[in-house]
C-alpha cells in the first residue's frame, strides 16, 4: 500500500509558505532546510508554544533536534513541495533544494490561478519515480486511479476503501484494476465485511490499524483542496454503520473524464526511449501540464509541434500526461528545457535571534516538617482513608509505595468518585472543603476550600476527563478566581491562589507555565497546579508521620506544587 | 527561461468617458445609481483591475499592531468562494447555489454594481454606452481606471444591500448551521465583516494549533488606535469563549506588550447565549473584578451593520452587554439610525433567544 506520510498542512498555508520561500530564494541556486525553517519562522507561518516567528525558532533551537518543530515543519513542507514537483533536490542528497520551472509558475500565479496548476501537480504524482525515497512498490498514478475508482464505485467511497483500493494497485495493469473494483464492490453492503477487509490489509502489511488510516490524510486533503471530493455521511456503503464518506464532485468527475483522454506516460516507458525522444517528452509533458492549467502556450508552439512530431508514435494523437519534475531528476529536466542554473554556492542563513527566555518550570516546594499534626478525621471518608493508609503502613510499606498503590487505584475514577476523593484529601490536610453539586451554575468551581480569609476555588479534572492537567483547566481556575472575587460567596483575597487539580501534571509543562505567568502578569492572580500524586504524598505523610506542611505555601501557590518526602 | 502567461488573460477594463459620477445612491435590493451629468444612471460593473468585490488587500488582513500574530493569508472576500471572475464577460460571476447572501462582495463594490433581488445575487453587466467605455487592459488603462475609482471612492454614500428580516436571517443562519467545526468559514466571515466595517482584521491560520487567539483587529485609520482580540464561537460553548478571551488578553499583555486595558476584546457568536448558560454572568464578573468590558457581538448584528455601511466604534465598547443588560439592540439601532426589523429574541441576534 502507498504510504503517504502525513504532513498535516493546509492548502492555503502550503501556497503561502511556498510564495514566501520563492520571494527569498528565487535568485539563489539552491536553499537548505535551515533556510526554509528560517523563512517559515520569519514570516510567522509557523508558531510554537504560543510564540510566533523568530521567537519560535529561537525556542525550538534550544531543544533537541527531534523536538525542533520549526525544522520539522520545514521538512514536512519540503516533502510536499517535492511531491508536487515545485522544488527538487540539487545533487545526490535530499537537500539542498531548488525551484523547478513549474514551481516558478506556482509562485507567480495569483490565488485563483494557482488552483488549476495545483490540480495538475496533484495528478502528476506517480510512482515509481527517481526523486524521492518511498516505502512502497505500487506502480500507480494514484490520484488518477482514485478518481477512476470513485467513478466506478458510484461516486462515493469510504476513506479506508482507498487503502485496500487505489492505494494498493498497479493501475496500468487493467486486469488488476478490474479485480480491485470487483473486490471493493463485493465488500460493500456489510460493515462486518469492511472490518474484515481492513483488518486483512493491516495484517498483510503487519502494521497497526492507524497506519493505513493516517496514510489517507494527505490524499484526502489534496483531493478536497482540488475540489474533487467533499464529505458526505452515508450508511448505505456499509450498513448499518453510518460513516463519513467522500463524494466525487461534478468537478472531480470532469477531471476524471479529461485525464482518461491523455497518454499516461510512466517512468519505465519513458526510460525505454532514446535521448532525443526523452527530451521531447519532457518538454511536451511540462507544456501540456501548463496548458491544461490554463497557460497560453503559443510562445512555445513551434517547439510543441516539433516535439509532437518526434513523439507521434507514442502519443497516437493524444495529449501527454507526464510530469517530469515529479518523476525524474531536475538536471535531466533542466537540460531538456534549456534551463541553465548558475552554480553559485547556496546562500546559507545565519540565524541569530534574540533568545527568548522560557521559564521551564515553575515549581513550588511545599515543605513537610516533623510535627504532631492532628489528622482531622472528623468525617467518615477521612476516617476510612486514614485507616486504609494505616493498614498499608502496617504491612511495612514505605510512604512512596502507599502513595503509588492509592494513585494507581484512581486511574479509572470518574468525576463522581474523583471530585469527592480530592476534596477528602484536602480535608485530611485540615481544610474545610465543599464539593459543588453537578450542574450548580452558581458555583462554577468543582470544589472550594472554605476559609475565613483565604477561600480557594478548586478546578478538578478526573483522569477519565483528561489524564494530564490541560490549559483548559488553568483557564477555568482563572475564571473561578474571578467569579469568587466578584460574587463574594466566600471570603478570599486577590493574592490567594486558585487551584487546578488533576491526575498527572500537564504534558506541555512549558506552555502551562507560560500561561500561569501570563495570568499573573496581566491580572495579578496566582494559579496553583497540583497533581494527584503530590497531593497524596502530602496527605499520606500527614497521616503516617503526623507531618505538618506549609499551609501558607499552599494558599499562595503559583505553578506546580512539589514535595519531597523526608 | 521565460515563464508562460495565462490563457485566461484580462483583455478589457471599463472607465468613465469624460463625466464622472457626482453622487451615488442605493435602495435596498437594487443596484446603486450614479448621478452623471444631471441624470441618475443605473450603476454597472467597471471590470476592475484587482476587483475589491473579490479580493482583500494585504493591509486589510494584517494587523501590524500584533507583530507576533501568525495570520491567515486568504484574501477571498467571499467566505464560501461563491464569486469567481468570468474571463468571458470580464466581470465577477456569482454562483447562487453556493452563495449565502452575506453581502460582503456587494458592499465592497465602489459603484454598487452587485445587488440582491428575489433571493438572487446579480452583477449589473449592461453598461451605459453614453457614459462608460471599454478600453484595453494595459498598464495605462489600469492606471486610468485606478485614478477614476479613487475619485469615485471619495463620494460619501452608503450601501443599502438589503433590509434585514427574521426570514432573511434564518436563511443565512441555516446555511451556516451545516459548516463543520474545523471550517474556516466562520472566521473568514467575521474577519471580512469587520474589514467592511472599517477595521483591519487578521485571523489565525487554518490548522495552526499553537495560536489560541482566533483573531485580532485594529483601526484602519491612523488616528484610530482601537485594537483587540476576538474569540469567534459559532458553536454552543460560549463559556469557553469567555475563558479564551481572558487567555488572549493575558497572552497579548504579557508576551506582546498589548496592555490589557487597551485591549478592546470581543466575542463574536452566532447567537447570544441565554441567561442561564452563565456566560453573561461571567462577563459581568470580569468587569467587576478585572475592570475589562468584553463586548459581545453576533454574526447577525455584524451583517446588518455591514449591509447598511454603518460606522461603529468598538473602541467605545458600545457593544458591551452583560447580565444586567442583555442586549445590543439599542447600540445597533443607534448605529443604524433606525429601528431594526428583527423581532425580539430572533436567533439570539440582538438579545438572548426567548
Ligand atoms: S462588481 Fe464592482 S468591484 Fe467587482 S469588478 Fe465590478 S465594479 Fe469592480
Ligand atoms: S453575497 Fe457573500 S456569499 Fe454571496 S457571493 Fe457575495 S460574498 Fe459570497
Quick: pLDDT tens for B271-327: 999 888 889 999 999 999 999 999 999 999 999 999 999 999 999 999 999 999 999
Q: Do B29 and B129 sit in the same domain of this protein?
A: yes
Rounded to whole angstroms, the Cα distance separating B121 from B84 reads: 13
Predicted-complex ipTM score: 0.91
Phi, psi of A264 (to 5 degrees): -90, 105
Find the closest chain B residue to A17 by CA distance: B73
Residue B91, domain member (yes or no): yes
Fold of A363-562: Restriction Endonuclease (3.40.91)
Name the pLDDT band for B332 (thresholds 50, 70, 90). very high
In the block, which residue shows the cell 480569609? A453
Q: Do A521 and B278 touch (CB under 8 A)?
A: no
Chain B interface test: which of A304, A523, A525 (most B C-beta within 10 Å): A523
Listed residues B119, B152, B185: the one ending a domain: B152
SS3 B116: strand
Rounded to whole angstroms, the Cα distance separating A450 from B209 reads: 38
Q: Do A486 and B289 touch (CB under 8 A)?
A: yes
Residue B309, domain member (yes or no): yes
Cα-based torsion angle of the residue sequence A171, A173, A175, A180 in order, rounded to the nearest 10 degrees = -20
- The set of residues, in sequence order, having a beta carbon less than 8 Å from that of A493 and lying 6+ positions away, is A453, A454
Is the minimum distance from the CB of B15 to ligand 1 under 6 angstroms? no
Give how many domains chain B has, as a whole number. Answer: 2
B121, B122, B168, B192, best to mutate for ligand 2 pocket (most atoms within 8 Å of CB): B121
Q: Do A482 and B285 touch (CB under 8 A)?
A: yes
Cβ of residue B88 closer than 8 Å to a chain A Cβ: no
The vertex-A402 CA angle with A400 and A404, nearest 5°, equals 70
- CA distances, B332 to each of B27, B301, B321 (Å): 20, 7, 12
Is the minimum distance from the CB of B123 to ligand 1 under 6 angstroms? yes
Residue B51, domain member (yes or no): yes
Q: Do B175 and B307 sit in the same domain of this protein?
A: yes
Residues of chain B contacting A482 with CB distance shorter than 8 Å: 246, 282, 285-286, 289-290
CATH of residue B224's domain is: 3.40.91.50
Q: What is the pLDDT of residue A28?
A: 78
Q: What is the pLDDT of residue A353?
A: 21
Nearest to A441 by CA among B279, B238, B1: B279
Chain B interface test: which of A41, A52, A102, A487 (most B C-beta within 10 Å): A52
Q: Given A108, A482, A515, which is nearest B3 (Cβ)?
A: A108
Q: Do B122 and B199 sit in the same domain of this protein?
A: no
Rounded to whole angstroms, the Cα distance separating B18 from B297 reads: 45
Cβ–Cβ under 8 Å, residues B101 and B171 = yes
Cβ–Cβ under 8 Å, residues B232 and B190 = yes
Residues of chain A contacting B207 with CB distance shorter than 8 Å: 8-10, 13
Q: Which of A62-66, B29-33, B150-154, B274-278 has the lowest mean pLDDT?
A: A62-66
Rounded to whole angstroms, the Cα distance separating A122 from A124 reads: 5
DSSP state of B351: S
Cα end-to-end span (Å), chain A: 57
- pLDDT digit string, tens, across residues B257-282: 999 999 999 999 999 998 888 899 99
Residues in chain A: 566
Q: Which of A49-53, A178-182, A234-238 has the lowest mean pLDDT?
A: A49-53
Q: Do A52 and B69 touch (CB under 8 A)?
A: yes
Rounded to whole angstroms, the Cα distance separating A498 from A31 reads: 50
Q: What is the pLDDT of residue A332?
A: 92
Rounded to whole angstroms, the Cα distance separating A453 from A493 reads: 7
Q: Do B305 and B170 sit in the same domain of this protein?
A: yes
Q: Given A8, A111, A291, which is nearest B75 (Cβ)?
A: A111
Rounded to whole angstroms, the Cα distance separating B95 from B74 reads: 20
Peptide bond into A336 cis (omega under 30): no
Cβ–Cβ under 8 Å, residues A553 and A534 = no
Residues of chain B contacting A101 with CB distance shorter than 8 Å: 1
Residue B298, domain member (yes or no): yes
Which residue has better confidence, A439 or A537?
Answer: A537
Which residue has better confidence, A215 or B165?
Answer: B165
- pLDDT digit string, tens, across residues A451-497: 988 999 999 999 999 999 999 999 999 999 999 999 988 999 999 99
- The set of residues, in sequence order, having a beta carbon less than 8 Å from that of A23 and lying 6+ positions away, is none
Chain B interface test: which of A482, A484, A516 (most B C-beta within 10 Å): A482
Instruction: Chain B: give the shortest CA distance to residue A287, in Å.
Output: 9
Residue B161, domain member (yes or no): no
Name the pLDDT band for A52 (thresholds 50, 70, 90). very low
Residue B221, domain member (yes or no): yes
Listed residues B90, B121, B152: the one ending a domain: B152
Q: Do B122 and B220 sit in the same domain of this protein?
A: no
pLDDT at A109 over 90: no
Rg over CA atoms, chain B: 21
In the block, which residue shows the cell 498527572? A504
Q: What is the pLDDT of residue A358?
A: 27
Cβ of residue A113 closer than 8 Å to a chain B Cβ: yes
Q: Do B148 and B177 sit in the same domain of this protein?
A: no
Peptide bond into A240 cis (omega under 30): yes
pLDDT at B193 over 80: yes
Cβ–Cβ under 8 Å, residues A222 and A147 = no
Instruction: Chain A: give the shortest CA distance to residue B31, in Å.
Output: 26
Residues in chain B: 354
Which residue has better confidence, A349 or B320?
Answer: B320
Q: What is the pLDDT of residue A53?
A: 46
Stretch 150-209 of chain B: residues touching chain A, C-beta under 8 Å: 180, 205-208
Q: What is the mean pLDDT of chain A?
A: 85
Q: What is the mean pLDDT of chain B?
A: 94
Listed residues B152, B179, B195: the one ending a domain: B152
pTM over 0.90: no
pLDDT at A88 over 60: yes
pLDDT at A47 over 70: no
Name the pLDDT band for A354 (thresholds 50, 70, 90). very low
Is the minimum distance from the CB of B107 to ligand 1 under 6 angstroms? no
- Residue-number span of the structural domain to which B44 is assigned: 3-55+79-152
Pick the ligand that lies closest to the CA of residue B48. 1
Instruction: Chain B: give the shortest CA distance to residue A147, in Å.
Output: 23
- The set of residues, in sequence order, having a beta carbon less than 8 Å from that of A481 and lying 6+ positions away, is A457, A498, A525, A527
Q: Do A50 and B55 touch (CB under 8 A)?
A: no
Residue B177, domain member (yes or no): yes
Is the minimum distance from the CB of B113 to ligand 1 under 6 angstroms? yes
B34, B50, B51, best to mutate for ligand 1 pocket (most atoms within 8 Å of CB): B51
pLDDT at B213 over 50: yes
Name the pLDDT band for B125 (thresholds 50, 70, 90). very high
Name the pLDDT band for B208 (thresholds 50, 70, 90). confident
pLDDT at A419 over 70: yes
Rounded to whole angstroms, the Cα distance separating B105 from B110 reads: 10
Stretch 20-49 of chain A: residues touching chain B, C-beta under 8 Å: 44-49
Cα-based torsion angle of the residue sequence A165, A166, A169, A174 in order, rounded to the nearest 10 degrees = 100
Instruction: Chain A: give the shortest CA distance to residue B33, in Å.
Output: 30
Q: Do B84 and B205 sit in the same domain of this protein?
A: no
Q: Show me where the domains of chain A are located.
A: 140-262, 363-562
Q: Do B85 and B179 sit in the same domain of this protein?
A: no
Cβ–Cβ under 8 Å, residues B333 and B340 = yes
Q: Do A52 and B74 touch (CB under 8 A)?
A: no
Q: What is the pLDDT of residue A351?
A: 24
Rounded to whole angstroms, the Cα distance separating A269 from A271 reads: 5
Nearest to A425 by CA among A496, A376, A368, A497: A376
**How much distance in Å is there from the Cα of A19 to the middle of ligand 2?**
27
Q: What is the mean pLDDT of residues A284-303?
A: 88
Name the pLDDT band for B97 (thresholds 50, 70, 90). very high
Q: Do B104 and B177 sit in the same domain of this protein?
A: no
Amino acid at each position: 500500500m502507498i504510504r503517504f506520510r502525513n504532513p498535516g498542512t493546509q492548502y492555503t498555508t502550503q501556497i503561502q509558505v511556498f510564495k514566501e520561500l520563492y520571494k527569498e530564494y528565487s535568485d539563489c541556486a539552491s536553499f537548505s532546510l535551515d533556510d526554509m525553517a528560517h523563512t517559515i519562522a520569519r514570516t510567522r507561518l509557523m508558531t510554537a508554544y504560543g510564540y510566533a516567528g523568530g521567537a519560535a525558532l529561537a525556542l525550538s533551537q534550544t531543544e533537541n533536534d527531534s523536538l525542533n518543530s520549526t525544522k520539522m515543519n520545514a521538512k514536512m513542507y519540503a516533502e510536499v513541495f517535492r511531491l508536487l514537483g515545485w522544488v527538487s533536490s540539487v545533487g545526490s542528497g535530499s537537500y539542498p533544494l531548488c525551484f523547478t520551472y513549474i514551481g516558478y509558475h506556482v509562485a507567480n500565479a495569483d490565488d485563483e490561478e494557482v488552483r488549476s496548476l495545483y490540480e495538475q501537480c496533484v495528478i502528476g504524482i506517480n510512482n515509481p519515480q527517481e526523486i524521492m525515497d518511498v516505502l512502497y512498490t505500487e506502480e500507480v498514478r494514484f490520484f488518477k486511479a482514485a478518481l477512476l475508482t470513485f467513478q466506478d464505485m458510484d461516486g462515493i467511497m469510504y476513506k479506508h476503501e482507498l487503502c485496500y483500493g487505489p492505494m494498493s494497485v498497479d493501475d496500468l495493469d487493467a486486469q488488476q484494476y478490474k479485480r480491485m473494483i470487483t473486490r471493493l464492490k463485493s465488500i460493500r453492503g456489510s460493515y462486518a465485511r469492511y472490518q474484515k477487509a481492513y483488518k486483512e490489509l493491516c495484517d498483510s502489511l503487519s502494521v497497526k490499524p492507524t497506519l493505513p488510516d493516517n496514510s489517507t490524510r494527505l490524499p484526502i486533503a489534496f483531493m478536497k483542496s482540488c475540489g474533487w471530493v467533499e464529505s458526505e455521511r452515508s450508511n448505505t456503503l456499509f450498513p448499518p454503520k453510518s460513516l463519513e464518506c467522500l463524494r466525487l464532485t461534478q468537478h472531480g468527475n470532469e477531471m476524471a473524464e479529461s485525464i482518461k483522454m491523455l497518454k499516461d506516460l510512466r517512468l519505465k516507458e519513458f526510460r525505454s526511449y532514446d535521448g532525443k525522444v526523452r527530451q521531447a517528452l519532457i518538454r511536451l509533458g511540462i507544456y501540456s501540464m501548463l496548458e491544461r492549467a490554463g497557460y497560453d502556450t503559443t510562445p512555445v508552439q513551434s517547439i510543441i509541434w516539433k516535439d509532437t512530431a518526434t513523439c507521434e508514435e507514442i502519443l497516437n494523437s493524444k495529449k501527454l500526461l507526464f510530469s517530469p519534475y515529479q518523476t525524474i531528476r531536475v538536471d535531466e529536466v533542466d537540460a531538456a528545457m534549456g534551463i541553465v542554473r548558475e552554480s553559485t554556492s547556496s546562500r546559507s542563513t545565519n540565524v541569530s535571534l534574540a533568545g527568548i527566555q522560557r521559564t521551564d518550570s515553575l515549581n513550588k516546594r511545599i515543605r513537610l516538617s516533623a510535627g504532631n499534626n492532628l489528622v482531622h478525621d472528623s468525617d467518615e471518608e477521612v476516617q476510612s482513608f486514614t485507616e486504609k493508609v494505616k493498614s498499608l503502613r502496617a504491612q511495612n510499606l514505605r510512604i512512596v509505595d502507599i502513595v503509588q498503590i492509592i494513585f494507581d487505584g484512581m486511574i479509572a475514577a470518574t468525576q463522581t468518585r474523583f471530585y469527592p476523593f480530592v476534596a477528602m484529601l484536602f480535608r485530611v490536610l485540615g481544610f474545610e472543603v465543599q464539593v459543588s453539586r453537578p450542574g450548580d451554575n452558581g458555583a462554577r468551581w468543582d470544589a472550594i476550600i472554605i476559609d475565613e480569609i483565604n477561600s480557594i476555588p478548586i478546578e478538578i479534572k478526573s483522569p477519565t476527563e483528561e489524564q494530564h492537567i490541560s490549559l483548559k483547566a488553568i483557564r477555568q481556575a482563572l475564571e473561578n478566581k474571578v467569579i469568587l472575587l466578584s460574587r463574594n460567596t466566600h471570603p478570599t483575597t486577590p493574592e490567594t491562589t486558585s487551584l487546578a487539580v488533576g491526575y498527572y501534571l500537564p504534558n506541555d509543562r512549558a506552555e502551562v507555565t507560560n500561561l500561569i505567568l501570563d495570568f499573573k502578569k496581566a491580572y495579578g492572580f496566582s494559579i496553583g497546579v497540583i497533581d494527584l500524586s503530590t497531593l497524596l504524598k502530602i496527605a499520606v505523610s500527614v497521616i503516617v508521620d503526623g507531618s505538618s506542611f506549609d499551609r501558607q505555601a499552599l494558599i499562595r501557590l503559583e505553578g506546580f506544587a512539589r514535595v519531597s518526602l523526608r | 527561461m521565460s515563464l508562460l502567461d495565462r490563457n485566461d488573460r484580462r483583455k478589457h477594463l471599463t472607465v468613465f468617458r469624460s463625466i464622472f459620477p457626482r453622487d451615488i445612491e442605493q435602495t435596498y435590493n437594487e443596484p446603486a445609481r450614479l448621478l452623471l451629468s444631471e441624470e441618475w444612471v443605473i450603476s454597472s460593473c467597471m471590470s476592475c483591475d484587482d476587483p475589491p468585490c473579490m479580493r482583500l488587500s494585504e493591509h486589510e488582513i494584517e494587523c501590524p499592531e500584533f507583530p507576533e500574530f501568525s495570520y491567515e493569508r486568504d484574501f477571498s472576500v467571499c467566505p464560501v468562494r461563491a464569486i469567481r471572475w468570468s474571463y468571458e464577460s470580464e466581470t465577477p460571476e456569482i454562483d447562487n447555489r453556493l452563495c449565502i447572501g452575506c453581502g460582503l462582495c456587494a458592499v465592497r463594490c465602489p459603484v454598487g454594481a452587485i445587488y440582491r433581488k428575489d433571493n438572487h445575487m446579480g452583477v449589473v453587466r449592461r453598461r451605459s454606452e453614453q457614459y462608460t467605455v471599454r478600453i484595453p487592459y494595459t498598464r495605462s488603462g489600469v492606471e486610468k481606471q485606478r485614478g477614476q475609482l479613487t475619485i469615485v471612492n471619495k463620494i460619501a454614500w452608503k450601501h443599502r444591500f438589503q433590509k434585514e428580516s427574521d426570514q432573511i436571517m434564518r436563511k443565512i443562519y441555516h446555511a451556516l448551521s451545516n459548516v463543520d467545526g474545523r471550517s474556516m468559514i466562520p472566521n473568514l466571515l467575521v474577519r471580512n465583516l469587520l474589514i467592511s466595517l472599517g477595521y483591519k482584521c487578521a485571523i489565525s491560520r487554518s490548522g495552526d494549533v499553537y495560536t489560541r487567539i482566533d483573531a485580532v483587529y485594529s483601526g484602519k485609520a491612523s488616528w484610530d488606535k482601537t485594537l483587540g482580540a476576538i474569540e469567534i464561537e459559532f458553536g454552543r460553548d460560549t463559556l469557553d469563549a469567555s475563558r479564551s478571551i481572558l487567555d488572549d488578553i493575558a497572552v497579548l499583555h504579557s508576551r506582546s506588550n498589548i496592555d490589557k486595558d487597551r485591549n478592546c476584546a470581543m466575542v463574536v457568536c452566532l447567537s447570544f447565549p441565554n441567561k442561564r448558560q452563565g456566560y453573561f454572568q461571567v462577563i459581568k464578573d470580569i468587569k467587576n473584578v478585572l475592570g475589562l468590558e468584553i463586548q459581545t457581538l453576533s454574526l447577525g448584528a455584524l451583517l446588518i451593520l455591514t449591509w447598511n455601511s454603518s460606522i461603529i466604534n468598538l473602541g467605545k465598547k458600545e457593544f458591551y452587554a452583560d447580565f444586567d443588560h442583555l442586549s445590543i439592540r439599542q447600540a445597533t439601532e443607534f448605529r443604524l439610525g433606525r429601528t431594526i426589523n428583527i423581532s425580539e429574541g430572533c436567533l439570539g441576534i440582538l438579545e438572548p433567544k426567548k
